[in-house]
Amino acid sequence: MTITRIDPGKRFSAAVRHNDTLYIARQTADTLTGSVEVQTREVLAKIGDLLKKGGSSKAKLLSVNVYLSNIADFAEMNKVYDAWIDTANLATRATVEARLADPNLRVEMTAVAAAD
């Protein structure tokens, strides 16, 4: 059994690879004053970076969970998500409205992917 922790922090690792599965923890934007589109782009860029670090890619995403502070942002978030995702290899996905850790956050995502 192989476990690799990627970008460990004080309370959690940004991602953990267990054998051939990569688990990506909550990813949020750094631009707290940004629109949901700006924050979504930042979050997806972070996920893309973690996929690469973990030996995976968008084509190997298995599941994505999206948390929006306001479900009214759903369409705007989807515009950015739809442009980023590999449409030939769609993951399962759930989107829910949730109170996020910082009131300025508009979107947070977690993901699971297969890894090489």
Residue bearing the bigger pLDDT, 1 or 93:
93
Query: Do 21 and 116 touch, CB atoms closer than 8 A?
Result: no
pLDDT tens by residue, 35-76: 999 999 999 999 999 999 999 999 999 999 999 999 999 999
Categorize the per-residue pLDDT at 1 as very low, low, confident or very high, splitting at 50, 70 and 90.
Answer: confident
| CA triple 71-76-82, angle to 5 deg | 115
* Angle between the N-to-C axes of helices 74-84 and 36-53, in degrees from 0 to 180, rounded to the nearest 10: 40
Encode pLDDT of 63-116 as tens digits. 999 999 999 999 999 999 999 999 999 999 999 999 999 999 999 999 999 998
Q: What does the block give as tokens for 116?
A: 């090489």
Nearest to 1 by CA among 12, 15, 16: 16
- Class for the domain spanning 12-114: alpha beta
Judge if pTM exceeds 0.85: yes
